[in-house]
Amino acid sequence: MNLSVIGQGYVGLTVAISAAENGHMVIGLDLNKSLVDDLLNGRSYVPGINEERLLPLIKAGAYFPTTDEKSLQNSEVIVIAVPTPLDLMRNPDLSYLEAATKLIAKNVNRSALVVNESTSYPGTLRNFIKPILDEASNQKFLFAVAPERVDPGNLEWNIKNTPRVISGLNDEATSEAIKFYSTFCSSIYRAPNPEVAEASKLLENTFRQVNIALVNEFSEIANLIGFSASEAVKAASTKPFGFMPFFPSIGVGGHCIPVDPNYLRYAASQFGSITKFIDLANQINLSMANSVALRIQDQFNGELKGISIQLAGIAYKPGVPDLRESPALLLMEELSKLGAKVTWCDPLVSEFNSSKSMPLDPNIDLGLIVTPHENIDFSIWKNAGTRVFDLSPDRKSYGWPKFF
C-alpha cells in the first residue's frame, strides 16, 4: 500500500520502518528538516532503528523521509503519529494533531484510511479529527485509531509482538485498519469502538502512574520506619497471584506516564467529574524529587551547601536520549536549591540547557545512579570508593544497595 506516516519520531518512525520492511511504500513526513536529513543519511535517535535498517529501504524506494507535505497526495493509508503533550495548564494540547489533520485535508486527493496512533482522550477521532477533515476536504475518508504501545529500547516487546488495539468509526474502517496492521503486527485486538481503544491507552498508563505513586508513598513510610521498600516489594512479588511489582523512584518521566493520565482527567472534567486518584498520583510522583533531595540532605547532617553531587543518567529511562518530563531534572533543581554543586553524566543526552554531560567523576562527594544507561561504566565510582546512592527503580544491582 502507499502509506504516509505524519511525524517521524519514536512512534512514527517505528511504524514507518516496520511497514516498509513488510512490503509497503512509505512516505515519512516530518516538519523537522534536520531530522529528515539525518534519516536520509541513515541516522536516527530511535533505539533499534539504525543505518543498517534505514539505508537499504531508502535505496530500494520503500521508505522516503521528507518535509514535503505534497508527498501525501497519493496515500491510501495515512498514519498520524505526532506529539500530544500538555499545555501550560497541564491540559491536552492537540495543536500538533490539528495541524497534521489539516495537512491531510489539504494534500490528500483520493479516498484513504486515516489512522490516529497519537495518544488522546476518548472521542478525539470522532469529535476532533473527523470534523476537521469533513469540513476541509471533499474526499471520502475512513477513520480508525490504533494507539501505539511502543516502548523504545525494549528488546522483548516490539511493534510486531505487542498486541495492537484497533477500532474504526465504521466496520469498513475497522476491517481496512486491521488488514493494514496485520501486515506487520502479529496480534490484533478489535475494540468495539474508537472510544474504547483510545481510553484503553489512557487506562494503561494511568494504571502505571497510580501504582508507581502508591509504591513511592510506600517508600516514604519505609524510610520513616527504617526498612527497605524495594526489599518489601521483592518479598511481596513472590506471591504468584494478585500482585504486580512496581519499584519506588524519584518520579515518573517521558511523554506517556506523566502526561496521559491528564488526558483522562481532562475528559472527565468535560463531564463535570474529578479524578481523585489521578490527581493524588500526580502530586505524589511530582513531590518525590523534593522528598529525595531532603532525604539526601539528611545523609549529610542536614547540610548540602558546597557538597558536589553527580547524577548518572538524566534521560527519563535507560537507553534513550529523551528528557521529556524527566524527574532527574526536578531532582537536579531541588539539590541545587539546597546548595549542592550538581553535575551530570549522560552519554545519550550530552547537552541540556547549556550544561554539558561530564564523564563520571570519582572525586565527587556523592554519585547518584538515576538512569543507568548500559554504556555508563560504574566501575569508576566503584574502584575509587565513591559514595553512591542507587536511585534507579529497576531490579538490577549496580553494586550498591537500593536507596529506596
Ligand X SMILES: NC(=O)c1ccc[n+]([C@@H]2O[C@H](COP(=O)([O-])OP(=O)(O)OC[C@H]3O[C@@H](n4cnc5c(N)ncnc54)[C@H](O)[C@@H]3O)[C@@H](O)[C@H]2O)c1
Q: Which residues pair with 356 in a beta bridge?
A: 351
In the complex, the smallest distance separating the C-beta of residue 336 from ligand X, rounded to whole angstroms, is 28
**Piece of 1-9, 160-168, 189-197, 335-343 that binds ligand X (CB under 6 A):** 1-9
**Residue with smaller CB distance to ligand X, 9 or 248:** 9
In the complex, the smallest distance separating the C-beta of residue 268 from ligand X, rounded to whole angstroms, is 19
**Piece of 6-14, 229-237, 266-274, 308-316 that binds ligand X (CB under 6 A):** 6-14
* DSSP one-letter string for 210-270: HHHHHHHHHHHHHHHHT--HHHHHHHHTTSSSS-------S---SSSTTTHHHHHHHHHHT
- Answer for the pair 103, 134: CB distance below 8 angstroms, yes or no: no
**Residue with smaller CB distance to ligand X, 35 or 307:** 35
Interaction mask 17-36, ligand X, x per CB under 6 A: ------------xxxx--x-
**Residue with smaller CB distance to ligand X, 31 or 196:** 31
The helix or strand, by DSSP H or E, that contains position 25, with its residue range, turns out to be strand 25-29
Separation of alpha carbons 334 and 356, rounded Å: 19
Among 11, 58, 77, 289, binds ligand X (CB under 6 A): 11
What b-and-e string marks burial along 280-311, b requiring 16 or more CB atoms within 10 Å of the CB?
ebbebbbbbbbbbbeebbeebeeebeebebbb
**Residue with smaller CB distance to ligand X, 40 or 232:** 40
In the complex, the smallest distance separating the C-beta of residue 329 from ligand X, rounded to whole angstroms, is 17
Told to check if 318 binds ligand X by CB under 6 A, we report: no
From residue 169, give the alpha-carbon distance in Å to each of 126, 176, 186, 331.
7, 11, 23, 44
Among 24, 164, 208, 255, binds ligand X (CB under 6 A): 255
Alpha helices in 253-326 (DSSP H): 260-269, 276-299
- Rounded to 10 deg, the angle between the 229-236 and 194-225 helix axes is 120
Task: Give residues 271-290 in contact with ligand X (rule: CB under 6 A).
Answer: none
Strand, coil or helix: what is 398?
Answer: coil
In the complex, the smallest distance separating the C-beta of residue 9 from ligand X, rounded to whole angstroms, is 2
**Residue with smaller CB distance to ligand X, 16 or 329:** 16
Interaction mask 117-146, ligand X, x per CB under 6 A: -xx---------------------------
Residue 349, all three cell numbers: 543526552
- Answer for the pair 328, 316: CB distance below 8 angstroms, yes or no: yes
Burial degree of 390 (CB within 10 A; 0-12, 13-18, 19+): buried
**Residue with smaller CB distance to ligand X, 103 or 233:** 103
Write out 90-135 in H/E/C secondary structure: CCECCHHHHHHHHHHHHHCCCCEEEEECCCCCCCHHHHHHHHHHHH
Among 94, 133, 150, 342, binds ligand X (CB under 6 A): 150
Q: Which of 256, 257, 278, 335 is flagged as catalytic? A: 256
Respond yes or no: is residue 256 known to be catalytic. yes
Among 148, 198, 217, 325, binds ligand X (CB under 6 A): 148
User: Could you tell me which residues come within 8 angstroms of residue 23 by beta carbon, excluding any fewer than 6 positions away?
Assistant: 62, 183
| Largest Cα–Cα separation, the chain | 70
In the complex, the smallest distance separating the C-beta of residue 215 from ligand X, rounded to whole angstroms, is 22
Q: How many residues bind ligand X (CB under 6 A)?
A: 28
Among 6, 62, 185, 210, binds ligand X (CB under 6 A): 6
Please give the residue ranges that form the binding site for ligand X (CB under 6 A). Answer: 6-12, 29-32, 35, 81-84, 96, 99-100, 103, 118-119, 148-150, 152, 255-256
Q: Which residues are catalytic?
A: 256
